[in-house]
Amino acid sequence: MAHSVLVAYATKEGSTREVAEAIAGTLRAEGLEVELQPAGEVGEVSGYDGVVLGGALYMGRWHPDARQFLRRHRKTLAALPVAVFGMGPLTLTERDVAGSRRQLERALAKTPEVHPVSVAIFGAVVDPAKLHFPFSHMPATDARDWDAIRAWAEEVAAELGAPSLVSAGQAVR
Q: What percent of the chain has pLDDT over 90?
A: 71
pLDDT value, residue 134:
66
pLDDT value, residue 135:
66
DSSP per residue, the chain: -PPEEEEEEE-SSSHHHHHHHHHHHHHHHTT-EEEEEEGGG----TT-SEEEEEEEEETTEE-HHHHHHHHHTHHHHTTS-EEEEEE--SS--HHHHHHHHHHHHHHHHTSTT---SEEEEE--EE-GGGS-TTGGGSPPEE---HHHHHHHHHHHHHHTTPPPTTTTTPPP-
3-35, pLDDT tens digit by residue?
Answer: 899 999 999 888 999 999 999 999 999 999 999
In whole angstroms, give the CA distance from residue 104 to residue 120: 9
> How many Cα atoms sit within 13 Å of 68 on the Cβ side?
11
Q: Over the chain, what is the mean pLDDT?
A: 88
In whole angstroms, give the CA distance from residue 20 to residue 22: 5
Residue 89 pLDDT class (50, 70, 90 cuts): confident
Domain 4-159: top CATH class: alpha beta
130-167, pLDDT tens digit by residue?
Answer: 766 666 667 677 889 999 999 999 999 999 887 654 34
In whole angstroms, give the CA distance from residue 97 to residue 40: 26
CB 51 within 8 A of CB 8: yes
Q: Where are the domains of the chain?
A: 4-159
pLDDT value, residue 161:
82
